[in-house]
Amino acid sequence: MDLRFTDEENAFREEVRSFFRDNLPDDIRAKMIDGEHLDKPDFVRWTKILNAHGWGVPHWPEEHGGTGWGPMKQYIFLEELQKYPAPQPLAFGVNMVGPVIYTFGNQAQKQRFLPAIANLDDWWCQGFSEPGSGSDLASLKTRAVRDGDHYVVNGQKTWTTLAQYADWIFCLVRTDTAAKKQEGISFLLIDMKTPGIEVRPIVTIDGGREINEVFLTDVRVPVENLVGEENKGWDYAKFLLGNERTNIARIGVSKQRVARIRELAALEMAGGRPLIEDERFREKLATIEIDLKALEMTQLRVVAADAKRGNTGKPDPASSILKIKGSEIQQATTHLLMEVMGPYAAPYLPEHDARWNEPSEVPEYAPVAAPNYFNNRKVSIYGGSNEIQKNIIAKAVLGL
């Protein structure tokens, strides 16, 4: 047992930090600190910088452009990226469909898609959820019927994040309606420019326009865009969903937000002195910090176990803890950040409005706080709600 980072790991952390300092455009960093949504060009610009440095897809196999870093370095990279803060590479390509393609796809698919994911030349979105499916993902209804060299796809996907920017969507579709619900599903890659695809925004309660519905009407998809075998899509989906361990807890994001709370609570006054000097406020922040420090160690235990055993690709049920506590902490931080604002949490600035254009007493950092709190209610819902995570632990870990 050795509970300290190695010298090599510490040096690597420094290398990563200075790369971010030297290379992330200031305007992008400022948006992230302010809690604003990034535009597509922001993501693209930054991803190309990372990729040019060879860090576009750190955790991929080296043959596909990965770095060869072990789990601990991957974790350090991500944590520093989140803490700086810098945008994370787009998960739908880099973390989701990319690994599915290099693991289950054919050679042509690998060549066509992987480099374009790493460089964000292709923007991917995810077509899993449907209006009726929710936590019961396998109940999906979107049909794909073989017609010569094509599948004809009809159905509706929802909660499709950033589909408005997407060039491609990876979809779970039902190719066999007679089979058991998990066994008739296939995994298709669909060009968003194909006729019959319509994207409609879903505005979220914070006023954000991140998510969409995607309607598919007689969409013709070439059979070469099937990944792996027909009716085996559920296996690939499970692989994909189990692949997110190093990111799910979002330690770096929460650390950055804790630092932000501390910074802004020094600017807001309560009872004639900075809020950060209020004992009760400090205790609330310290409570979060303790939880976060413990979760960081939990995350490192999972990462270290990965590193020792080699990545089996199989999810550790204990990683459900990372999801549960990670989301609780994110929600606690966004709530506390809103509390920092006091009455200034109330003004609402729609996302794409101009900045306040008259002198005002409302601090510029205040209006995003409540929307961020509202928006972060999603983190205990998506990716398997916290209730589902607890069911998983009860069954897989406790044997109940």
Closest CA to 332 of 269, 392, 383, 290: 290
Q: Are strands 168-174 and 124-127 parallel, antiparallel or unpaired?
A: parallel
Of 36 and 283, CB closest to a second copy: 283
283 binds a second copy (CB under 8 A): yes
Catalytic option among 183, 244, 328, 351: 244
User: Has 244 been annotated as catalytic?
Assistant: yes
Minimum Å distance from CB 284 to a second copy? Answer: 11
Minimum Å distance from CB 398 to other proteins? Answer: 5
* Contact partner, 291, from other proteins, a second copy, none, Cβ < 5-8 Å per class: other proteins
Q: Which of 106, 111, 217, 287 binds other proteins (CB under 8 A)?
A: 287
Of 48 and 284, CB closest to a second copy: 284
Main-chain dihedrals φ then ψ at residue 366, nearest 5 degrees? -75, -45
294 binds other proteins (CB under 8 A): yes
Instruction: Specify whether the CB–CB gap between 170 and 153 falls below 8 A.
Output: no
Minimum Å distance from CB 250 to other proteins? Answer: 14
361 binds a second copy (CB under 8 A): no
Contacting other proteins within 45-84 (CB under 8 A): 72, 83
Of 34 and 277, CB closest to a second copy: 277
Instruction: Specify whether the CB–CB gap between 344 and 366 falls below 8 A.
Output: yes
8 binds other proteins (CB under 8 A): no
The tokens of 318 are what? 């204990």
Minimum Å distance from CB 207 to other proteins? Answer: 7
Q: Which of 10, 106, 135, 217 binds other proteins (CB under 8 A)?
A: 135
Cα 343–333–304 angle (5° rounding)?
Answer: 170
DSSP per-residue string spanning 253-280: HHHHHHHHHHHHHTTSEETTEEGGG-HH
Bridge partners, 273 (sequence order) = 270
**Cis status of the peptide bond prior to 85, with omega within 30 of 0:** yes
Q: Which of 180, 193, 273, 280 binds a second copy (CB under 8 A)?
A: 280
Q: Is 317 helix (H, G, I), strand (E, B) or coil?
A: coil
Minimum Å distance from CB 321 to a second copy? Answer: 24
- Name the maximum alpha-carbon separation found in the chain: 75
Contacting other proteins within 359-388 (CB under 8 A): 360-362, 370-371, 373-375, 377-378, 380-382, 385-387
Contacting other proteins within 250-269 (CB under 8 A): 255, 258-259, 262, 268-269
State how far the Cα of 236 lies from the Cα of 128, in Å rounded to an integer. 12
Of 176 and 356, CB closest to other proteins: 356
State how far the Cα of 232 lies from the Cα of 329, in Å rounded to an integer. 36
241 binds other proteins (CB under 8 A): no
The CA-atom distances, in angstroms, between 307 and each of 40, 195, 300, 303, 312 are 34, 45, 10, 6, 10
Q: Using the structure block, give the residue that is written with the tokens 């993902």.
A: 137
Of 272 and 310, CB closest to a second copy: 272
279 binds a second copy (CB under 8 A): yes
Site string for other proteins, 198-237 (x = CB under 8 A): ----xxxx-x------------------------------
By CB under 8 A, the count of residues binding a second copy is: 3
Using CB atoms within 10 Å of the CB of residue 278, give its burial: 0 to 12 exposed, 13 to 18 middle, 19+ buried: middle
179 binds other proteins (CB under 8 A): no
Q: Are strands 124-127 and 143-147 parallel, antiparallel or unpaired?
A: unpaired
Q: Is 5 helix (H, G, I), strand (E, B) or coil?
A: coil
Choose the binding region for other proteins from 30-38, 53-61, 229-237, 391-399 (rule: CB under 8 A).
Answer: 391-399
**Active site amino acids:** 244
**Which positions touch a second copy (CB under 8 A)?**
279-280, 283
